Amino acid sequence: MMGKWRASAAGMLFFALLFCGARAADEEDGEVDFESFVRYYYINPQPYKAPAAARSFLSSELAAGEETCDEDCRYSAAYAFGRIGQLEPNVVPEYHVLFEEGNHQQRIFMLDVLQLCGDKRTEEFFISRLNAGRYINEGKVIKEMLSQGMPFEFDPVDKTIESPLDVDLLWREFAITGSEEAIRHIIGVLGWFYDGDVRQKYIACTTKWTLSENSREHSQVAHICSDELARTTDSTRRVLEEIVEDLEIFETLKRLERRGKAGESGSDKIEEGIGNQAAATGSKAWALGCSAVLTERNHHRHDLLAGGEINWKNIGKTKKLIDETWGITTRDDLFSDLLWLNGGGNRERFDIMGICVVDINDGEYEELRETYSDDEEMLQEMEVARKHYGELQGRGISGWDYARFISLCRWGYMVGHLGEDEAWELIRPAARILQRRFDSWEELGRNYLVGREFWSYEETANSGYRCEDACQRLSEMRDSPWNKYPWDMDLTDTTRTNGASEAKPSKER
């Protein structure tokens, strides 16, 4: 047992972590949800709640799960409780009580906890009970623990990262102590996203998305990411750039969300006589061009923010569209989906899937397909990821996610969930992200098609040709935004009103 704190044993079982998220439960009277308790512990330490949180964890499905990812989650949870016990020894006797009350599996978990924070009292506790002939089923593990001594010396910050579990332990260290060193150690693996072997790429990929998520929840993590971005020049920088760029839009989304409903309703726009919009030009027209595939497919206007004139008919059609395809009926619904697209969308799953399937041999791939032979959606995702992940050079399907992000902002403006200024405040930084990540309109269009194919087997089979036709028309039509506005247009000049542009600096790849 002791060895697991020195070298983590998590394997790359391809889809274990793909479906393994934090399974937090709602708190009931007298219960303390583990994830909620730990997430901001470093900001508001409440060690007196640790035993109750541990008791709730021990009674959860996760504690009893048999999957590899469940085992890893148990190790990271044990580290969190053990670390709290190190910092607050007064909770250790209560951990002894939890050990005595538990079944065999729960006792093994508490041994992992006590291994890290046990002291002389813990040694005496177990010696007296072993001498009394108790705990026969756990006796071998207890004797091993006693022979090692307590507390067992383990620091994830000093350990070489070898698996996703190692990264998870670093997140626990940060959550409990606020350690900046833990975050910088995590950031250190991002370069593997481009330069590592299959195992390292998998670790870097999952780490990228946990960093992205945690930078949204913890200002300290966001600050460290920005600080490391300013200092690093290797392939780590490319991943950090994406995290920081996405975070900038997230902050705008949260600010607008906090503001509350700021736009007029669709009917207000008509009644106030502003149903006729001015046609977008320059950098604004360029930004709308990023959603051109879906706009063209739906036969909407490329040069109007709302995609068409604001009138009763178009408002009603758009409300129906976003309700049926996204389940959006309110401003809150819209922000929920915009936050999801910005925070990972389909590209998170595509990245993880791609790492898992792109470098395995044909025999292994066929075995994997056989495992999911009854799941057409899964087979479609695997096939698209295996075919396209490598050629996308780490950019994933961000073109798919952010093109839809822009479309949602346009529809949100049409129906009144967003004000005009709010819509542009979200659309323009999304457009700049796409300009930095791709090299041409055509490349963005191809990325959109790959993302759509990955997203839905049924939709691709039934209507995928319509988006392909839309891409073809956008490339050929003289008045298409893809032909009117050059890809390298200067998007920082908000006053530019024609297609002429200054070339922006070439991107480093």
Per-residue pLDDT tens digits for 323-374:
999 999 999 999 999 999 999 999 999 999 998 898 888 998 999 899 889 9
Whether 74 and 21 have beta carbons less than 8 Å apart is answered as no
Which own/partner pairs from 375-384 qualify as long-range (CB within 8 Å, at least 24 positions apart)?
Answer: 376/457, 377/456, 377/457, 377/458, 379/457, 380/453, 380/454, 380/456, 380/457, 380/460, 381/349, 381/350, 381/353, 381/454, 382/353, 382/357, 384/350, 384/450, 384/453, 384/454
Same domain, 271 and 376: yes
Express each pLDDT in 265-310 by its tens digit.
445 555 544 556 889 999 999 999 999 999 999 999 999 999 999 9
The residue with tokens 């010696």 is: 127
What is Dmax (Cα atoms) for the chain?
89
Residue that terminates a domain, selected from 259, 286, 308: 259
Q: Are residues 420 and 271 in the same domain?
A: yes
What's the average model confidence in pLDDT over 13-19? 38
253 and 270 both lie in a single domain? no
Number of H helices, E strands in the chain: 27, 0
Residue with tokens 């705990």: 135
Q: How many residues does the chain have?
A: 509
Is 369 within 8 Å of 382 (Cβ atoms)? yes
Supply the pTM of this predicted model. Answer: 0.85
Lowest mean pLDDT among 231-240, 268-277, 294-303, 410-419: 268-277
Residues 6+ apart with CB under 8 A from 355: 198, 201, 202, 205, 389
Residue 475 in any domain: the answer is yes
Same domain, 402 and 477: yes
Task: Please give the angle made by the CA atoms of 206, 87 and 114, to the nearest 5 degrees.
Answer: 75
- Take residue 186 and report the two structure tokens written for it: 């995590």
Residues 213 and 245 in one domain: yes
Q: Pick the last residue of a domain from 205, 236, 259.
A: 259
Q: Are residues 302 and 434 in the same domain?
A: yes
SS3 track for 108-170: HHHHHHHHHHCCHHHHHHHHHHHHCCCCCCCHHHHHHHHHHCCCCCCCHHHCCCCCHHHHHHH
Q: Please tell me whether residues 316 and 425 are part of one structural domain.
A: yes
How confident is the model over 169-190, as pLDDT tens digits? 999 999 999 999 999 999 999 9
Report how far residue 365's alpha carbon sits from residue 347's, in angstroms, rounded to the nearest whole number: 21
Helix (H, G, I), strand (E, B) or coil at 22: coil
Same domain, 199 and 272: no
| Residue 374 φ then ψ, to 5° | -95, 5
Residue range of the domain that includes 285: 266-484
38-87 tens-digit pLDDT: 999 999 999 999 999 999 999 988 777 666 557 888 999 999 999 999 99
Q: Per the structure, how many domains does the chain have?
A: 3
Are residue 210 and residue 349 in the same domain, yes or no? no
On whether the CB atoms of residues 302 and 470 are closer than 8 A, the answer is no
On whether both 228 and 108 belong to a single domain, the answer is no
